[in-house]
Amino acid sequence: MYEYNEIINKLILWYQSNARDLPWRKTKNPYHIWLSEIMLQQTRVEAVKPYFQRFIHTLPTIEALANADEETILKLWEGLGYYSRVRNLQKAAQTVVGEYGGNLPADYFALRKLKGIGPYTAGAIASIAFSLPHAAVDGNVLRVMSRLAADPRDITLPATKTAWEEELTSVMPKGEEGTFTQALMELGATVCLPNGMPKCQGCPVREHCQAYKKNVVLQYPVKSPKKQRTKEYLSVFFLVDQGNIAISKRGEKGLLSALWQLPNCDREKAVPVALRDWGIINGEIKRMKGQKHIFTHIEWHMDCYFVAVKEKEGHTFLWLDRHQIEKEYALPSAFKKIWQEGCETLEEEIK
């Protein structure tokens, strides 16, 4: 682009007096920066803060993360969603312990080889923790750059992202790599906001912004429309037998893979048939509130049932006391409201 030196200097000065006070910004510890970047993918800063603190407190080193059992890491992640992130984090931690003595490598390309670390995360760790000249380009940064340059390229295309990664890497300011990375992220998160809401009046680089100068800010970034989400219709069951609640493990592949869940089936299947297939011979069925949960590409529409089991055979599910499940098992957010209502109904039944 043009005028990079001025833009970078202004951004850095602005960042130094306007950066939000976030726990992972108080350190250059590469593990903390890595963890925060993984948690922040698809998740708001305010939501991440308590998770970050708790995770660091429980697993203070990469080695501790590498050696933790799966239920512990899933429980620490419970409610953040996209659980493959924490599984990959642990696999990468095991590689770091095995190959690098427990310290993240200060090398962009070595970072890229670790599970779950793509160009953005590698760029963020390399520049922030190790002051290496590698840009970190995510949706926020793409939006900012697209507007600054009035760039007509579609930001959903990988080629556009790669081009911006290369361009920003080539202009990284020596000695201020991490500050520049964070300044761009911060501008995207607090000033150059999405959905037609940029706060241009408070923008430190307004006079260099091509979209602002031409009064066409709302035309950027250019992006192709998102695909429609697929709708799936399910029946979900809160099954109770003598105070114990049934949970089951999902399959190894696909959405929420290998996570614990409330038993469920396709809505097409009649409720009594589903129950019989699970070995529930007799039970009292109550309808609960229907629920909807939105994932990135899929929507779940759920009919929900509370079933007080009177007679069952076989061992289809894991039956556990409510408090044990809440303490030791991570239940994805999709089931949380059903869980809550089921527990309240159970308390009513006991009274």
Contact positions vs ligand SF4 (CB under 6 A): 144, 147-148, 191-192, 198, 200, 203, 205-206, 209, 211-212, 217
Q: 3-state DSSP call for residue 231?
A: strand
Sign of CA dihedral 334, 338, 339, 340: positive
**Tokens of residue 90, six digits:** 């642990």
Nearer to ligand SF4, 147 or 293 (CB): 147
Among candidate residues 3, 37, 99, 232, the one labeled active-site is 37
Nearer to ligand SF4, 217 or 234 (CB): 217
Nearer to ligand SF4, 14 or 55 (CB): 14
Q: How far is the CB of 48 from ligand SF4 (least distance, A)?
A: 24
Q: How far is the CB of 212 from ligand SF4 (least distance, A)?
A: 4
Helix (H) or strand (E) holding 309: strand 298-312
Nearer to ligand SF4, 212 or 305 (CB): 212
Nearer to ligand SF4, 137 or 191 (CB): 191
Q: How far is the CB of 258 from ligand SF4 (least distance, A)?
A: 41
Among 79, 54, 23, 68, residue whose Cα is nearest residue 331: 79
Among 246, 232, 254, residue whose Cα is nearest residue 302: 232
Cα 8–Cα 131–Cα 128 angle in degrees, nearest 5: 80
Nearer to ligand SF4, 90 or 181 (CB): 181
CA distance linking residue 136 with residue 36, whole number of Å: 14
Q: How far is the CB of 2 from ligand SF4 (least distance, A)?
A: 14
CA distance linking residue 59 with residue 53, whole number of Å: 10
Residue with structure tokens 């869980």?
339
Question: Which residues make beta-bridge pairs with 60?
Answer: none
Q: Does 299 qualify as catalytic in the annotation?
A: no
Helix (H) or strand (E) holding 299: strand 298-312
Q: 3-state DSSP call for residue 275?
A: helix
Residue 69 Cα to chain centre, angstroms: 20
Q: 3-state DSSP call for residue 321?
A: strand
Q: How far is the CB of 135 from ligand SF4 (least distance, A)?
A: 17
Q: How far is the CB of 201 from ligand SF4 (least distance, A)?
A: 8
Q: How far is the CB of 1 from ligand SF4 (least distance, A)?
A: 12
Cα 233–Cα 291–Cα 317 angle in degrees, nearest 5: 70
**Tokens of residue 75, six digits:** 């429980």
Nearer to ligand SF4, 167 or 326 (CB): 167
Q: In Å, how far are 51, 188, 270 from 125, measured between CA atoms?
A: 19, 18, 51
Q: In Å, how far are 231, 254, 285 from 292, measured between CA atoms?
A: 10, 19, 21
**Tokens of residue 87, six digits:** 């599984």
Which active-site residues does the annotation give? Answer: 37
